[in-house]
Chains A and B, each alone.
Chain A
Amino acid sequence: MRSKKHAVVSLTLLCAVWIVMHSCASRKSEPLTGDEFTSTDTHVLNGEKVYMLHCQKCHPGGGEGGLGPAINSNPSPGFDKSEIATEDLQDIASYLKAWKR
């Protein structure tokens, strides 16, 4: 009973931190930054393509919140290598870092 209560408190705290963290995320899309995003880095370009396939639907606008939380201030992909290859995960991280510009 006590461990269940502990788990609920921990989860609530984790959520609170997560909500505060993500509510601070700023919007990075081109109309708002006034900059067209370009890159010649093949890892960034591949990362953007893979992001569009796996991540964009829940974090549209280059990492804004939607169905999921905003991730444009915390560029760390939440997939594991069984879903996306390690190299592609690294490329997504490179893309989000570049996008954060």
Chain B
Amino acid sequence: MIIAFAGCYVIRGFEGGGQIGTLPERPVNTADVALHPGYKIELVGEGFTFPTAVAFDASNTPYIIESGYSYGEVWQDPKLIKLEEDGKRTVIATGSKNGPWTGVVWHDGAFYIAEGGTLEGGKILKVTIDGTISVLVKDLPTIGDHHTNGPVVTNGYLYFSLGVATNAGVVGPENKDFGWLLRFKDFHDIPCKDVVLSGVNYESDNVLTDDPDDKTSTGAYVPFGTSTTPGQIIKGAVPCTGSIMRVPVGGGTPELVSWGLRNPYGLAAAPDGRLYVTENGYDDRGSRPIWGSGDVLWEVKEGAWYGFPDHSAGKLMQNDEEFKVPGNKAVRSVLQTYPGPPPEPVAILGVHSSSNGFDFSKGAQFGFAGEAFIAQFGDMAPNVGKVLYPVGFKVVRVNTSTGVVRDFATNKGKRNGPASWLEKGGLERPVAATFDGTGSALYVVDFGILKTDGSSHPQARTGVIWKITKQ
């Protein structure tokens, strides 16, 4: 059966939701969205360029951030935009060419924004209501595949997260395609504490030379083209990639909270005060491709190591058929010893679903009190590997006690997929789900159309803000 499945899998074509042929317009139609019974959806605003998050001020007015950067190496100005009830939009602040702005939170009279850091390194910005921007944290090592994310404020601290530089710890030719390897030839992942390597190296084309026949060998936690040896120690440093950090809201020295995550994206505090994070799992790409790695919802535990780069959802990947790309060799660990046992995941989400920004329902105003509502951006196949059907492109709810995941808002139709793929007017790429100040409305930030064909082609002015309430 496994052989038959592997054979079929290899024969089947790629069916990612971003594989949409010609680029369509973006019609918007709430009737194309199916919701959990008893809820309704409204359009709040459309025509945004790469929106990624929303926050609410003390009077419950929504503010949207436009990221300013998208995969596909497209830079625009990151913006914080006030969206009033009559539809009027006011740009409160404009950032620099160092996006993407991935998250925003309102706290005590100011906004705090996570700036991804593609060109200058990640930052945490404070923006006052008059638009003045000051830098709370800077020089975060997120100039690679993944960026500085978050933030959330709880217990007097501002928590934020840093994604790793690579897919699975090894810099490869695909990082040139991302764009950053040519900008930062020596960049690589940085462990938060000392790690001991197994000395596994990966041969690849040397994309840093003009000779198409030139090959090179690269190990984990080192620059492209650098080999490693068994027992080699890589010194830990903070700030580090694949981590969660925090800083006092009033400013101060950032400190490490936990590490060993791949791309920790969304951060949110539950009504009981516990902090959770969504993690994007590994891709089937690059020098060290991994298959079947689900996204994860974790509880954030201080001091914990979550398993990157040798575990997925807490499970060791070495020699496990579950993570072996069909037709490839089994996964080998790049660490000789592991910093500790990873915690148990709260929930495992769809492979390549890109489970991103999320929030918790606080009570009866919306229902499902204490459940996490997670926006799933959706797969980026074929760039991240193959899927048989589109994955994600919806909002799911997760019971953190049982790990049960259920669809909450998804597009109608015989197949799941983004609106552009279905040729309808529903959800495209939900990237954040955030409750308003009253807790009665769930705002869904929809990034807009992103075509994938080996490269990424984001479409400006196709972003949408939706609002879901109880009927």
Interface set of A (CB-CB < 8 Å, partner B): 11-12, 14-15, 18-19, 26-27, 29-32, 34-37, 48-49, 52-53, 56-58, 60-62, 64-70, 78
Asked if A65 and B388 make an inter-chain contact with CB atoms under 8 angstroms apart, the answer reads yes
Contacting A48 at CB < 8 Å: which of B387, B404, B414, B416?
A: B404
* Cβ-based interface call for B171 (8 A): no
Q: Judge whether B387 and A67 touch: CB under 8 Å.
A: yes
Q: State whether A56 touches B405 (Cβ < 8 A).
A: yes
Q: Which residues of A contact B313 (CB under 8 A)?
A: 57
- Residues on the A chain within 8 Å of B402, using CB: 48-49, 52
A49 to chain B, nearest CB (A): 6
**Assembly CA distance A57 to B392 (angstroms):** 11
- Closest 3 A/B residue pairs (Cβ): A57-B294, A65-B389, A29-B407
How far does the alpha carbon of A37 sit from the alpha carbon of B406 in the complex, in Å? 9
Residues B369-419 near A (CB distance < 8 A): 387-389, 391, 394, 402-410, 412-416
Question: Whole-angstrom distance between the alpha carbons of A46 and B56 in the complex?
Answer: 39
Interface residues of B in 278-315 (CB under 8 A from A): 292, 294-295, 313
Q: With the chains together, A22 CA to B403 CA distance in Å?
A: 26
**Residue of B8, B294, B352, B408 with most partner-chain A CB within 10 A:** B8
**Bound complex: CA of A67 vs CA of B17, how far in Å?**
12
Please list 11 pairs of residues, one from A and one from B, whose beta carbons are closer than 8 Å in the complex, sorted by A's number: A15-B11, A30-B408, A31-B37, A49-B402, A52-B405, A58-B292, A58-B350, A58-B351, A60-B405, A66-B352, A67-B352
Q: Could you tell me if A57 and B407 are in contact, using CB atoms closer than 8 angstroms?
A: no
Contact assessment for A60 and B349 in the assembled complex, using a CB-CB cutoff below 8 Å: yes
User: Which residues of chain A come closer than 8 Å to B35, judged between CB atoms?
Assistant: 31
Which B residues are in CB contact (< 8 Å) with A36? Answer: 36-37
Nearest CB in chain B: distance from A34 CB, A? 5
In Å, the complex CA distance between A36 and B403 comes to 17
For the complex with contacts A29-B406, A67-B352, A69-B388, 8 further pairs of A-B residues with Cβ separation under 8 Å are A11-B8, A15-B4, A30-B406, A52-B404, A57-B295, A62-B406, A64-B416, A67-B391
User: Which of B8, B409, B414 sits near A27, CB closer than 8 Å?
Assistant: B414
Q: Which A residues are in CB contact (< 8 Å) with B364?
A: none
Contact yes or no, B11 A66, CB < 8 A:
no
B12: A residues at CB distance < 8 A? 15, 19
Contacts of A18 in B (CB 8 A): 4, 8
With CB as the reference atom, state the residue of chain B lying closest to A57: B294
Asked if B347 is at the interface (CB within 8 A of a chain A CB), the reply is yes
